[in-house]
């Protein structure tokens, strides 16, 4: 969108004049102490007439005052001293007035109120108030009939291009004003009106710096070739510079176009491109920023596996230049066909582990800037193995019997008993599982007969053995 074009309608965006904030309760103003066309500017507020501080009051402010009064264009602005003094208790209603030229009234301009302002001109002179002279013509400000995108966020430091005013609208929205004289664009980006393509005076050059230090990458267009290089002209790996870093000031474009890093981070490493533009073309140059860092171990991963399985130990190392990573175990560098170290993935793979492989592995990383060290643990588990096996037996009615069943493993298995495929019956205190895992049965009767399954369980697997118990005695069968 061309900032110098006047249009009757926009195919994209909105006509700038139509989106300006509307002030329905503008403060009334008048000229006092002079004539119809000149005098001290007075504002009516809170039931009293007061003045405007002369500090920073300029021709743009005067133009808004003349327009609000219906007196045409501004001729001059001055101190109110030439129009006589005011009562000592006369309030100053507007301090630090800063009109941009689009406002319909002085009270719509940026300013400080009576409770927060300090008038330097009033300290120097008792008549430090603003006065204006208008030409009395029928001139009215030309509407800003240019197309603009209404942004869905309020004005921030980098919302608009350098030298472009940002205006806050209602609903947390904002809009960019015209590009500076001699430039064209949509306000968010402005480019120089030129007769030839842009040229570089300085281009970015590769940089190598240490993490935490400062660094800069130069970029400058030849005078008159393109607008001043700002942060918006810079791209990292093809994307705009992080707005978070720009807002914090950690990364910024200096006055002469260089991209400055206040404290380098690991993630700053990449390709940086400076793009300069004018109406005749675009030119870019790219350089690499390398951030050097001593080794840092950002993640480690222990492993727990069963005998015979493959184990993967983790030791993720970052740093630049790339680090040499060495693994050792029990004071010796690991070696052999079963061991594979991958520095890029940060892993040590051990194939077909045995119980002898269990223990602490040392991961050591080193580059030209320093070294780092950590310990990674490997735990090797074994499946249950029965050391006492259950035996089938016969028992006399009314007597007791103990079915032995014990197992080792890593970790130590727990023993669980079942009878005939189901859980042990809850019949008085007939069944007791001992701390060793053995099953004790008392007062045997016909209900005790059956198959008893001893199940040894740990995280690796579960194993079971079966024993049959028979009960001898005189049993009566009741027939209904």
389-472 CATH fold? Immunoglobulin-like (2.60.40)
Residue 306, Ramachandran bin (φ over 0: left; ψ between -120 and 50: alpha; else beta):
beta
Residues 223-271: tens digit of each pLDDT: 888 888 989 899 999 999 998 999 899 999 998 899 999 999 999 999 9
- In angstroms, the CA 298 to CA 450 distance is 58
- In angstroms, the CA 406 to CA 455 distance is 10
CATH superfamily for 302-382 is Immunoglobulins (2.60.40.10)
Q: Which CATH class is domain 21-134?
A: alpha beta
Residues 295-339: tens digit of each pLDDT: 999 999 999 999 999 999 999 999 999 999 999 999 999 999 999
39 in helix, strand or coil? strand
Both tokens assigned to 396:
């006399």
User: Residue 415's pLDDT is what?
Assistant: 95
Angle at 328 between CA 322 and CA 331, to 5 degrees: 135
- In angstroms, the CA 361 to CA 47 distance is 83
What are the E-state strand segments in 135-249?
A: 147-148, 166-168, 174-176, 183-185, 190-192, 200-202, 207-210, 215-217, 220-221, 234-236, 239-240
- In angstroms, the CA 289 to CA 273 distance is 11
Both tokens assigned to 383:
């499946």
Please, where are the H alpha helices in 39-160?
59-69, 120-124
Residues 13-53: tens digit of each pLDDT: 788 888 887 766 789 999 999 999 999 999 999 999 999 99
Contacts (Cβ under 8 Å, ≥6 apart) of 221: 198, 199, 200, 201, 227, 228, 229, 257, 276
- In angstroms, the CA 266 to CA 252 distance is 17
Total residues belonging to the chain: 480
Contact 79, 54 (CB under 8 A): yes
- In angstroms, the CA 267 to CA 405 distance is 60
Measured torsion, CA atoms of residues 119, 125, 126, 132, in degrees rounded to the nearest 10: -70
CA dist 392 to 336, 470, 471, Å?
49, 8, 11
- For 470, which DSSP code? E
Residues 112-127: tens digit of each pLDDT: 887 776 788 766 566 6
CATH superfamily for 200-292 is Immunoglobulins (2.60.40.10)
Residues 96-116: tens digit of each pLDDT: 999 988 888 998 888 888 777
User: Residue 1's pLDDT is what?
Assistant: 38
Judged against a pLDDT cut of 90, whether residue 89 lies above it is answered with no
Residue with tokens 């004003």: 177
- For 124, which DSSP code? H
Mean pLDDT of 5-14: 65
Same fold, 200-292 and 389-472: yes
- In angstroms, the CA 198 to CA 206 distance is 22
User: Residue 78's pLDDT is what?
Assistant: 93
| pTM for the full predicted model | 0.61
Judged against a pLDDT cut of 70, whether residue 464 lies above it is answered with yes
The ranges assigned to domains in the chain are 21-134, 200-292, 302-382, 389-472
Both tokens assigned to 54:
């002369």
Contact 141, 60 (CB under 8 A): no
């Amino acid at each position: 969108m061309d900032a110098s074009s006047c249009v009757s309608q926009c195919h994209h965006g909105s006509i700038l004049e139509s989106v300006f904030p509307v002030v329905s309760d503008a403060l009334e103003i008048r000229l006092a102490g002079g004539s119809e066309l000149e005098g001290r500017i007075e504002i009516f507020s809170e039931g009293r007439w007061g003045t405007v501080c002369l500090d920073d009051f300029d021709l743009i402010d005067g133009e808004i005052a003349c327009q609000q009064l219906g007196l045409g264009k501004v001729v001059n602005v001055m101190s109110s001293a030439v129009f006589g003094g005011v009562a000592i208790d006369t309030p100053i209603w507007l301090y630090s007035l800063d009109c941009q030229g689009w406002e319909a009234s002085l009270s719509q301009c940026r300013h400080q109120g009576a409770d927060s302002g300090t008038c330097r001109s009033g300290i120097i002179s008792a008549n430090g108030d603003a006065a204006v002279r208008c030409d009395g013509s029928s001139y009215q400000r030309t509407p800003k009939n240019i197309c603009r995108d209404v942004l869905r966020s309020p004005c921030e430091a980098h919302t608009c291009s350098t030298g472009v005013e940002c205006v806050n609208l209602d609903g947390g929205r904002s809009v960019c004003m015209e590009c500076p004289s001699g430039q064209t664009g949509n306000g968010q980006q402005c480019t120089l009106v030129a007769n030839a393509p842009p040229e570089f005076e300085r281009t970015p050059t590769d940089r190598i710096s240490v993490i935490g230090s400062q660094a800069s990458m130069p970029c400058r267009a030849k005078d008159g070739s393109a607008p001043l290089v700002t942060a918006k002209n810079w791209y990292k790996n093809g994307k705009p510079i992080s707005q978070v870093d720009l807002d914090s000031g950690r990364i910024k474009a200096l006055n002469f176009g260089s991209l400055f890093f206040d404290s380098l981070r690991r993630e700053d490493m990449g390709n940086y491109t400076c793009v300069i533009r004018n109406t005749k073309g675009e030119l870019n140059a790219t350089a690499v920023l390398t951030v050097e860092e001593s080794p840092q171990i950002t993640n480690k991963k222990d492993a727990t596996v069963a005998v015979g399985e493959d184990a993967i130990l983790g030791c993720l190392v970052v740093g630049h230049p790339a680090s040499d990573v060495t693994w050792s175990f029990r004071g010796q560098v690991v070696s052999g066909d079963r061991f594979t170290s991958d520095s890029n993935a940060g892993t040590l793979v051990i194939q077909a582990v045995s119980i002898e492989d269990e223990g602490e592995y040392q991961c050591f990383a080193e580059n030209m800037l320093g070294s780092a060290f950590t310990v990674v643990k490997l735990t090797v588990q074994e499946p249950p193995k029965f050391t006492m096996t259950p035996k089938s037996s016969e028992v006399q009615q009314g007597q007791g019997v103990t079915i032995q069943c014990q197992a080792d493993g890593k970790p130590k298995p727990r023993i669980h008993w079942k009878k005939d495929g189901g859980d042990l019956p809850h019949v008085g205190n007939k069944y007791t599982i001992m701390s060793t895992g053995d099953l004790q049965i008392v007062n045997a009767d016909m209900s005790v007969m059956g198959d008893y399954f001893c199940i040894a369980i740990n995280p690796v697997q579960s194993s079971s053995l079966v024993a049959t118990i028979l009960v001898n005695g005189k049993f009566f069968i009741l027939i209904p």
